Amino acid sequence: MKVKEQEDLLALGLSIIMTLCQQVGNQVEIIKLGGIQSMLSAMRRFPTSTPVHEYCFGLLWLFSQNQTIHDEIVDQARITRPCNEATFLAHLILLCREHTNLSRWRC
């Protein structure tokens, strides 16, 4: 399979995951199955793919709106509490920067 085909297939899969994540229970399951790590790997694999990055950041934003997932990520990252939304998102952006080139996103 060619790289462009892999990228397109991944973007399609991410769009399906985005649809599934409209239900909170699915968000929690995707996180438990290593969803964030998988998204970071996808962004590393396709560092210039707009669709892949848009879906991954969209999912990360969606996850950040769920308090259970928010707390899980805060615990995993050992972020000092209390952690408000700005602090959480700043840590999330730093985490993403470790795994991909965000210069084109101007973050």
pLDDT, tens digit, 9 for 90 and up, residues 62-102: 887 777 777 776 666 665 666 666 666 666 666 665 555 54
What's residue 47's pLDDT? 85
Contact assessment for residue 77 and residue 91, using Cβ atoms and an 8 Å cutoff: yes
What's residue 52's pLDDT? 92
Q: Residues 6 or more apart from 18 whose CB is under 8 A from it?
A: 55, 58, 59, 62
Token couple for 95: 């985490």
What's residue 94's pLDDT? 65
DSSP output for 22-60: TSHHHHHHHHHTTHHHHHHHHHHHSTT-HHHHHHHHHHH
> Which of 90, 6, 103 has the alpha carbon at shortest distance from 45?
6
- Give domain limits for the chain: 3-100
Distance from C-alpha of 52 to C-alpha of 15, rounded to nearest angstrom: 9
pTM of the shown model? 0.69
